[in-house]
Amino acid sequence: MNRRIALPVAFAAAAAVLAACGGGDSETASGESGDPIRIGVVGASEDYWTAFTELTEEEGIDVELVNFTDYTQPNPALSQGQLDLNQFQHLQYLAAYNVANDDDLAPIGATAIYPLGLYSQKHQSLEDIPEGGEVAIPNDETNQARALLVLQDAGLITLEGGGSSTSLPSDVVEAESRVSVTPVAAEQTATALNSVDASVINNDFVADAGLEPTDALYQDQADSPGARPYINVWVARSDEVDNETFQRLVELYHSPEVEAASSEASGGTAVFTDNPSDELSEILGGIQTDLAAH
């Protein structure tokens, strides 16, 4: 997930739609050349994005949401100038992307921390998961490591050296673990529930499995120091971190109506945070240093 890739057809189609939309009104705040501010998101149909765009329209800020179904797409699109902002990832994911691609995309504001949960359609509790069971986890490096830590905290696996934010499936100590792990694409963790004992599923895809976040058999704790790398953020190119209109968009996202809709979409699990951009950059820098040395 953290390699620079050619943008797939799905993004090309989205870009074509953007091109067809034309520029924004001259009296609205917008991106370059009067075009809408293009924001890459995952799940543009969610009610909180409707609430958000209603607020931006009231303020005369012309925005265009570009929806993605694949986490690998929004960062290259932002870096290459096909987006102005994106809002879909946590700091750990952003750090991995920057290190792998020698990029310098930057966080400009925080949104929330979303606990990562373990779900099952076959078992009602952790205790029901059998010895030798199979658990699907996201295969991208950042969510994969977090998923492994969730499974370790749940008592299902043991990781070499106690585990870290750079742990890999190869670090699972098989002799001390109750289950095996199977990495799959993040968007496939929900559908994998049909063939495995349990899956660690990102909140974006929980509904795809007909589940609610509260159905999780186990999830990590958002208020722990170890959760700081998983603060979700607004991201811009490094030369746009002081853009006042972008900062206003961050503020609007924390409006009561947007947070209420976002909380509902997360099943009440979202823990909202407003860490300033300099603090987010400091956390990001530390993660990138660790990743580069790994």
Read off the pLDDT of each residue in 245-249 and give the average, rounded to a whole number.
98
Task: State the pLDDT at residue 2.
Answer: 32
Q: Do residues 131 and 178 make contact, with C-beta atoms less than 8 angstroms apart?
A: yes
pLDDT computed for residue 4 by the predictor: 25
Residue range(s) of every CATH 3.40.190.10 domain in the chain: 37-114+226-293, 117-219
The mean per-residue pLDDT over the stretch 243-258 comes to 98
Q: pTM of the full predicted structure?
A: 0.72
Strand 179-184 to strand 117-119: parallel, antiparallel, or no bridges (unpaired)? unpaired
Q: Which of 237, 93, 77, 74 is nearest to 165 (CA)?
A: 93
Class of 37-114+226-293 in CATH: alpha beta
CA atoms of 180 and 220, how far apart (whole Å): 19
pLDDT at 9 over 50: no
d(CA 264, CA 283): 28
Give 108's pLDDT tier (boundaries 50, 70, 90). very high
- Averaged pLDDT for residues 10-22: 34
Whole-number Å distance between alpha carbons of 6 and 285:
27
Q: Which of 219, 95, 205 is nearest to 151 (CA)?
A: 219
What is the full DSSP assignment across 264-292? HHTTT--EE----HHHHHHHHHHHHHHHH
Could you read off the pLDDT of 37-80 as tens digits, one per residue? 999 999 999 999 999 999 999 999 999 999 998 889 999 999 99
Residue 136 pLDDT > 50, yes or no?
A: yes
Domain 117-219 indexed as CATH 3.40.50.1110: no
By three-state DSSP, how is residue 34 classified? helix
